[in-house]
Structure 1
């Protein structure tokens, strides 16, 4: 595994909440983190049907545009009673034509579980795949998962995305009811970053 020794990194996302999480997770390593918006980068079309495929598209696009190393993640919620949906389409379920509305996406999860007569608890997991890409084309891949269940109604005003309906295993509160420090210590993204630490010298 190649060690990451650079001090600047583009996190290839326009999602402000996700960017804040990465800044917090990477702060102890002295890495300056910027996002797509800081470089005026467009969001590339995600055409793959796997998390790693879509993360690779985003990382490579950021490297090509900036000449800097880039870290991209593709993450999503897999609900087992829905056959793993929304999965790689997690963000798509929130699209409205006027931006993303995750309340609509969470309502769809609830609606489809109800329509399928699936009894609670509804097992689910958040998945995160990170692709770290250097300008010379070298790549490293790291994966993390957070097991739990989806609940209804939505609970909590913190976090982002589907956090208000996801209760992680071993807890009785949703990600959106947790303080950021608690969530960032055990989220799917944090677990993927734990695997990234070997590249950062830990």
Structure 2
């Protein structure tokens, strides 16, 4: 079964492919020749994911899925949230991390979560799958693996950041892994019927 993933982010693609394995042929936007920016103007992860998957169905008439993910920090009232990738006004993750750490200075409640919502468009139907992992924001970056806010996030029950974990370790517990596993189970069941 071929399905289009609304991304050209190789980190995301690697994570998703590692979780889904080879049971589905996941195609990227580049592989189908789509290089334009997909609109992402919603104010929730659900709205953004659906907007992206709707756009692809309208444009390409293909089964597809899109995700929107981000970091939600309780003391910052859920920020950076849907603006996680451009929190500092740019897509420079170093600047985004610096802004988070600056805003968190002196704050004792450091609870946060990573959240992913996937919107699947399959046979003219829309389905949502969500994953979240709770954790803590630390005071400075630790680790060099992963991407995004991984160096400042320690998941609950662990003593190291996502950026210190191997890809396998992170993929077994991450927000994206939880959502993608739900997606893969649904697609497997759909394929059987």
TM-score, normalised by the number of residues in structure 1:
0.87
Number of the residue aligned with 1:199: 186
Distance 1:17 1:95 in 2: 22
Secondary structure of the 2:40 match is: coil
For 2:61, the equivalent position in structure 1 comes to 67
Verify: 1:129 aligned to 2:99, yes or no.
no
| Post-superposition offset of 1:94 | 5.3
The answer on whether the counterparts of 1:127 and 1:146 sit within 8 Å (CA) in structure 2 is: yes
Contact 1:94 1:103 in 2 (8 A): no
Secondary structure of residue in 2 paired with 1:77? strand
Greater shift in the superposed pair: 152-161 or 70-79: 152-161
Q: Residue 155 in 1 paired to residue 142 in 2? A: yes
SS in 2 for 1:139: strand
RMSD: 1.5
8 Å CA contact 2:19, 2:181 repeated in 1: no
Q: Out of 34, 38, 54, which is 2:27 matched to?
A: 34
Unaligned runs of 5+ in 2: none
Contact 1:36–1:62 (CA<8 Å) still a contact in 2? no
Task: Within 5 Å, give how 1:1-202 maps onto structure 2.
Answer: 7-28=1-22, 30-41=23-34, 42-93=36-87, 95-96=89-90, 100-114=91-105, 117-119=106-108, 122-134=110-122, 136-201=123-188
- Report if aligned partners of 1:14, 1:43 keep a CA contact under 8 Å in 2: no
Q: How many residues align?
A: 188
- SS of residue matched to 2:67: strand
Superposed CA deviations along residues 145-178 of structure 1, whole A, max 9, x for unmatched, are: 0100111211111111111111000001110110
- SS for the counterpart of 1:157 is coil
Q: In 2, Cα distance between the equivalents of 1:201 and 1:39?
A: 23
Please give the alpha-carbon distance, in whole angstroms, between the structure 2 residues aligned to 1:20 and 1:188.
15
Deviation at 1:95, TM superposition (A): 4.8
